[in-house]
Structure 1
Amino acid sequence: MKTLLFNPFEKYAENKLLLFGIFITLAGSYLGYLFQGRFDGVIDLHFVPSTTLFEPLADNLINIFSLFLLLFLLGKYINPKTRVIDTLTPVMIARLPFYLLTFFNYQNYISGITEKLIASIDLQNTPTDLNIATSDLIITLLFSGISILFLVWFVILLFNGFKVATNSRGIKNNLLFAGAIILAEILSKIIFTFLN
């Protein structure tokens, strides 16, 4: 089970993993539509009042492209034998945790709590004046904690897939990997800015 959750790249054939990656990209995009989620950055998920069927899919394609491009270039630098399929598959599969997070916005639940929290906070209030229900605060903190865990899961999946694809080793390559994720986030934000 641990291998399935954190490193399926060593156990399953690349064709099966690619098909699964395509499936979860389409399913995750549909979940984004159902639960009003926008994946507006490589490591971002925001809930909005409404979304079209196409928007979450476009978000995911931009994120996959940004992350794939930088990790593929890095993979070629580390190991010239790095293949497209071996880099693309982990990028698609690693996004699974973001898709699962959309379920938390069932009937706009997280979005509604966020709006209430923002509405109750303004520059005029002191900490004792804030009108935030304890249950809303607890749910927000719980969702934040789960989001952090799922972000860690995303990085572990991506790192393990990248390591298998490139045979990457060493602290230098690990730092380059982290830098590639940060650059991919910046690239995706630039693309989103130009498209909006």
Structure 2
Amino acid sequence: MVFIFNPFTKIAGGKALWIGGLFAILTLAISYFSHSAFDGVIDFHVAPFTSIWPYVSFYIISWLCLVLFLGLTGLLFTKTRFRWIDILGTTLLSRAPLLLVALAAFAIPYIDKEQLSDITQIHFTAGFFIASFFSLICIIWTVALYYNSYRVCINIYGSKAVWTFILALILAEITSLVFIHSIHFK
């Protein structure tokens, strides 16, 4: 059970980057068909695009923003040396549960702005609620993996680890949203 939430004591660096890359490729392939847009470090929306490139761009921007802020936080708040390859690899591997979110998105319909004006016309199914709840659980799992990745790679513990991680996560989320929403895809 510990391995599910913290594989980073055994897998880090290039190995984590390679395995995380395989999960990313699978997730993005499924995302294109299930219309799963991971448009932020902890965001997920169903958004139909005609090309795979918005899905790929959102995924990479979110991941790199997280890497940047976790690394900067480590530089500012710890005296220990760390390897950027470890942060790159473990954060990418931390995104593995998003594969399950992309699969669950097949049960979540796209709702555009016009439909939101008359919510009574939208028919929510049991599958919608189950897939949405399952997706939320997977995103929480992903955040737990982010935290353990940060804690192990930066070698930081206790309340300092918690508060600096929260700071880095918030800054990464805001930065990723700014970048992603400045890009206009159809």
Tell whether the 8 Å contact from 1:14 to 1:85 is kept in structure 2 after alignment. yes
Corresponding residue for residue 143 of structure 1: 131
**Alpha-carbon distance change, 30 to 41 in structure 1, aligned in 2, over 3 angstroms:** same
2:53 & 2:33 partners in 1: Cα distance?
A: 12
What amino acid does structure 2 have at the position aligned with 1:183? L
Q: What pairs with 1:179-194 in structure 2 (closer than 5 Å)? A: 179-194=167-182
Deviation at 1:60, TM superposition (A): 1.1
Distance 2:151 2:168 in 1: 14
Aligned position for 1:174: 162
Shift of residue 131, structure 1, vs aligned partner:
5.5
CA distance in 1, matches of 2:177, 2:43: 10
Query: How far apart, CA to CA, are the structure 2 residues paired with 1:148 and 1:5?
Result: 17
Which residue is 2:2 aligned to? 3
Query: CA 1:3–1:51 in structure 2 vs 1: closer, same or farther (change >3 Å)?
Result: farther
Q: Matched residues in 2 for 1:58 and 1:173: separation?
A: 29
In structure 1, stretches of 5+ residues that fail to align are 122-129
Number of the residue aligned with 1:58: 57
Alignment length, in residue pairs?
182
Match of 1:156 among 133, 144, 155: 144
For 1:111, give the aligned amino acid. Answer: P
Q: Is the 8 A contact 2:6 2:145 kept in 1?
A: yes
TM-score (norm 1): 0.82
Cα offset for 1:49?
2.9
1:111 to 90, 109, 112: 109
Residue 119 of structure 1 deviates from its aligned partner by 6.3
- CA contact 2:80–2:155 (8 Å) conserved in 1: no
Contact persistence 2:42–2:143 (CA under 8 A): no
State how far apart, in whole Å, the 2-side matches of 1:14 and 1:83 are: 8
Unpaired runs of 5+ in structure 2? none
Are the structure 2 counterparts of residues 29 and 79 from structure 1 closer, same or farther at C-alpha, using a change threshold of 3 Å? Answer: farther
Distance 1:189 1:132 in 2: 27
C-alpha distance in structure 1 between counterparts of 2:81 and 2:87, whole Å: 11
Identity %: 29
The answer (yes or no) to whether the contact 1:68–1:87 under 8 Å persists in 2 is yes
TM-score (norm 2): 0.86
Cα deviations by residue, 1:36-64 (Å, 9 ceiling, x for unpaired): 12111111111123341222111111011
Partner of 2:28: 29
| Alpha-carbon spacing, 1:41–1:12, altered in 2? closer, same or farther (3 Å) | closer
Counterparts of 1:118 and 1:54 in 2: how far apart (Å)?
A: 26
Poorly superposed stretches of 4+, deviation over 6 Å: none
Paired letter, 1:172: K
